[in-house]
Structure formats: C-alpha cells, structure tokens
Amino acid sequence: MVTDTISDVLTRIRNANMVKHQIVQIPSTKMSIDVISILKAEGFVDDFETYIENSRTFLLVSLKYKGKQREPVISKIERISKPGLRVYTKAKKLPKVLNNLGIAIVSTSQGVMTNLKAKELGIGGEILCYIW
C-alpha cells in the first residue's frame, strides 16, 4: 500500500520517461485521475484509460515523445508539497514555473487545477508539483 499516491504517480511517469516506455500503469485513485487529466489537457501525456485487473482499477497512461530520438515531452517533474512538509500559497503568490512554460499542479478548495487556472479564479491552495 502506497501512502503518498501523488509521489507514486510522478515517480512512475519519471521512471517510464527515462527508459522511453510508451505506456505506464498507475493505480487508479481520484487524485491520480485528476493529475493525469491535467497532464493530458496541458499536452504532457498523450492519453489515458482505465482498466480492471483482479478487482483492482488501474490507469494506462500513454506517454508523449518528440522527434526521431524520442525525447520525452516531460523534461522534469518535481514534487513540492510532501506528507512531511505541506506547502500552501495564496492566490497572489502562486508560482510561475519556467516563466509559464511549465505548470504547477495545485490542490484547491475547488479541486485540482493548474497554477494558471487557480490564479485566474483567484484561489490559492497546496502546491503539489512542478512539471516542465
């Protein structure tokens, strides 16, 4: 049993990108579906689907690469808020990731969203990770 599902999702994606796998399997939770949905909407992953195996639900995430050398679209994933040290911010102090070339995933009172959408709505929250 994994205690930190967000770190597990990010580590599985990071490891699969390093060895250039096309598909990665992630245990399905509400938080992992939200994070992967944001990554798909922002163009970092190609697609994902759910499937059931032995009464457990998993996500199959298709990773995205560019060029003949198959360079990963995700160059870095960095976990910010951890179970031992939570990082919260106000709407006015939301971070800019790589001068808005990357995104920060933020957990707010209105759900999980990117830093740009949270800034647009004027709400702060817990900064989960940076991706670029």
Structure tokens at 78: 């960095």
| Span 25-71, pLDDT tens digits | 999 999 999 999 999 999 999 999 999 999 999 999 999 999 999 99
Please state, in angstroms and rounded to a whole number, the distance separating the CA atoms of residues 104 and 49.
23
Task: Say how many CA atoms lie within 13 Å of 120 toward its Cβ.
Answer: 5
pTM assigned to the model: 0.93
Residue that has been written with the tokens 């989960």 in this structure = 128
Say if residues 77 and 35 touch (Cβ distance below 8 Å).
no
| Span 5-26, pLDDT tens digits | 999 999 999 999 999 999 999 9
pLDDT for residue 72 is more than 80: yes
